[in-house]
Chain A
Amino acid sequence: MSNDIPVLEMRGISKSFGPVQALADVDFRVHAGEVVGLVGDNGAGKSTLIKAISGVQPADSGEILFEGRPVSISHPNDATRLGIATVYQDLALCDNLDVVANLFIGQEMVAGGVAGAFRALDEVGMEHRSHELLNQLAVTIPSVRSEVGMLSGGQRQIVAIARSLLGEPRVVLLDEPTAALGVRQTALVLELVNRLRDRGYGVVLISHNLVDVFEVVDRITVLRLGRNVADFKRSETTQQEVVAAITGALTGAGAGNSGGER
């Protein structure tokens, strides 16, 4: 397996906002074909780490390796160019547009020839590609021409994730993809996460919901107060242990694979 070199590795990432140290010397990695759960209490630094990866808010110091090469991510475009796609919690979909339009928003396919000079849309091409993409992911949506506002929460999440895959990324960051979803909708989304792993993407799942996390992840990285406190293999841990790491009951005990410092 080529799993030795992580597709994305962060080493010694620090970030402060004035006097507040949001991230202190944090390490993080994800391999291709691996789902990593990033968990922690509110204020643990999950969002800050995600923003550092996605380029929205670059880190102050630390090293980022993409497929083993050192890279710098100082703008969202850098992340996109490397192949890191982020799906934010609020999805950023246009409810008034159909699925096809939302999948291609901002990166529409334009027709060739004379019509292309006027930036006419290649609707046939986009619809075709949409079917292809959704079929690959084996997701069902009533019609690619239905308005996104008509879809259920889970289906909307699926559209948002599918959209992030159009740019053919290597790593997909999912920020709370199952928050506010019902049981069935959650199952749909988690199924899709499993399929992303099977297709060889590196997936980072940020979630509060440990049940959901345990359902799909291979590894769990726990942050607490801006520091790494634990890194578990799912097969070798329990929810109780993870909760203990999140709340700090584990700190100092040295449990887990990497253990907590201090």
Chain B
Amino acid sequence: MTVTSGQTAAPALAEEGAFQPRQFARRFLQGDLGSLRVILGLVIIWIIFQSQNDRFLSAVNLTNLVLQVTAVGLISVGIVLVLLLGEIDLSVGAVSGVTSAIMAVANVKHGWAPVPALALAILAGAAIGLLQGFVLARFGVPSFVVTLAGLLGWQGAQLYVLGDTGTININDPTIVGLTGTFYSTTVSWVIAAVAIGAYVLASLVGRRRRAAARLPVEPLPALVLRLAAVSGAAIAAVAITTSDRGLPLAGLILVAFVVLFDWLVRRTQFGRHVFAVGGNAEAARRAGIRVERIRIVVFALSGTMAAIGGIMAASRLLAVNQSSGGSDLLLIAIAGPVVAGTSLFGGRGSVWSALLGALVIGSISNGMDLLALESSVKFMITGAVLLLAVVIDAIARKQRRAAGRL
């Protein structure tokens, strides 16, 4: 999970030579190694809940946790892109609701096969995002306002699509299988081996290309540490989940989207332009980047991910109803990446923060459920954690500024 910091950290370390503990500590505090800080926070949260209830870190509960965070994590992936632009999308909850309603109506009421129904829902999400993006880019309306209107409008559309019945139960095996599939031990290990192999191979190929161009490379110990950490995480995930029901497909889908979007954001021209627009839109425009087009595409992707998250939520609930996509889903989907270090002001953040943030908030919620706390207490504690995370981020930003960096 240190992938995000790797890009900037590795060459710097390479040039400074030896590993310097004090500097590492400073970078850690200033949030350069943001992902690591969040992982540490997650470990602390897990230790606290485990000490209160020893079922928290059981295989059953950790598998449940994965299933609980899948939908919100997927929605957050889209939110990260929007946040990187320095914008906000308040419509994702409502979009996830209306698109899952479209899927349910197509599949259950009109007898569509599952795959076309899923495709229709995802296309609808993309179209909604495209429309919102077009309006805010074309007319220069702040994204806050456009997507707030979307929040209301798409909720209405959801009620309209669902019609009189209000609730539609889903029993199509393919759709239910999205969150109900668990891979056997053998298959799980094969998946883990392939994933680790691909990661190691990609790292080594990248390193060789840098070396061939005589560019500084990541020091060997750091590389080994990174590969070991990622492999260890994958092995632990498989070992834990297979001792319960098996490796959940839902978790794989979430990780696959995170990896895909992380690549899109960090390794493609599109992603570079997203960061540029988020960092300095005027500079991006002068450099010939079509800023409006980037905005529109990002909002379309946000709508798409909202639809995919909505589908996963419907699959897990086995139904779509009038409150699908409502409640605190939107707020958690935005809070997650922010808790995990993606800036609300644009230009800084990582797609991994979608996954890590969902895990942090999901762990707190799950742990408090295990402790059977009142809803009142749960809301207050979740609010306090969010506030704490944002304050830590603000302090880190201030220190960065004091250290002469904006």
User: Which A residues fall within an 8 A CB radius of B?
Assistant: 88, 91-98, 101, 105-108, 110, 118-121, 123-125, 127-128, 131, 143-147, 149-150
Contact = CB atoms under 8 A, between A and B. Distances in A.
B11 A110 contact: no
B352 interface: no
Contact of B268 (A92, A98, A121): A121
Contact of A92 (B210, B280, B348): B280
Contact-residue size bin, chain B (C-beta under 8 Å from the other chain): 20 to 34
A150 to B, nearest CB: 4
A96 B213 contact: no
B351 to A, nearest CB: 16
Contact of A94 (B8, B269, B276): B276
Interface stretch (B105-113, B241-249, B285-293): B285-293
Given A107-B288, A127-B213, A146-B12, A96 B348 contact: yes
A101 B269 contact: no
Contacts of A131: 215
B161 interface: no
Interface of B: 7-8, 11-12, 15, 209-210, 213-215, 267-270, 272-273, 275-276, 278-280, 282-284, 286-289, 347-348, 404-406
Most chain B Cβ neighbours within 10 Å, of A88, A93, A128, A145:
A145
Nearest to B15: A143
Nearest to B269: A119
A101 B266 CA distance: 11
A97 B11 contact: no
Nearest to B290: A106
Contacts of B289: 105-106
A110 B267 CA distance: 10
Nearest to B282: A92
Contacts of B282: 92
A95 B279 contact: yes
Contacts of B280: 92-96
Given A101-B275, A105-B284, A150-B404, 12 more contacts: A92-B280, A95-B405, A97-B276, A105-B287, A106-B287, A106-B289, A121-B268, A123-B267, A143-B15, A144-B11, A145-B11, A150-B405
B272 A108 contact: yes
Nearest to A106: B287
B286 A94 contact: no
Contact of A97 (B210, B268, B270, B279): B279
15 contacts: A92-B283, A94-B280, A95-B279, A95-B406, A96-B280, A96-B348, A106-B273, A106-B287, A106-B289, A118-B268, A121-B269, A128-B214, A143-B12, A145-B8, A149-B405
Contact of A119 (B7, B11, B268, B276): B268
Contacts of A150: 404-405
Contacts of B12: 143, 145-146
A50 to B, nearest CB: 14
Minimum-distance CB pairs A-B, first 7:
A106-B287, A94-B279, A96-B347, A96-B279, A92-B283, A119-B269, A106-B288
A124 B210 contact: yes
Contacts of A123: 267
B405 A110 contact: no
Given A95-B280, A105-B289, A124 B272 contact: no
B11 A120 contact: no
A128 B209 CA distance: 11
B283 A94 contact: yes
A194 B12 CA distance: 30
Contacts of B213: 124-125, 127-128
A147 B8 contact: yes
Contact of B278 (A91, A96, A101, A120): A96
Contacts of B284: 94, 105-106
A122 B270 CA distance: 13
A92 B286 contact: yes
A125 B215 CA distance: 10
Contacts of A97: 272, 275-276, 279
B48 to A, nearest CB: 34
A124 B209 contact: yes
Contacts of A120: 267-269
A251 B283 CA distance: 40
B363 to A, nearest CB: 29
B13 to A, nearest CB: 10
A106 B275 CA distance: 12
B405 A147 contact: yes
A95 B275 CA distance: 10
A119 B270 contact: yes
Contacts of A94: 275-276, 279-280, 283-284, 347
Contacts of A101: 272, 275-276
Contacts of A107: 287-288
Nearest to A94: B279
Nearest to A95: B406
B259 to A, nearest CB: 14
Contacts of B348: 96
Most chain A Cβ neighbours within 10 Å, of B11, B12, B15, B272:
B272
A14 B355 CA distance: 59
Contacts of A143: 11-12, 15
A132 to B, nearest CB: 11
A105 B276 contact: yes
A123 B11 CA distance: 13
B209 A121 contact: no
Contact of B215 (A88, A98, A110, A124): A124
A93 B283 contact: yes
A239 B287 CA distance: 37
A118 B268 CA distance: 7
A93 to B, nearest CB: 6
Given A96-B275, A124-B215, A143-B12, A108 B405 contact: no
Nearest to A110: B269
B241 to A, nearest CB: 31
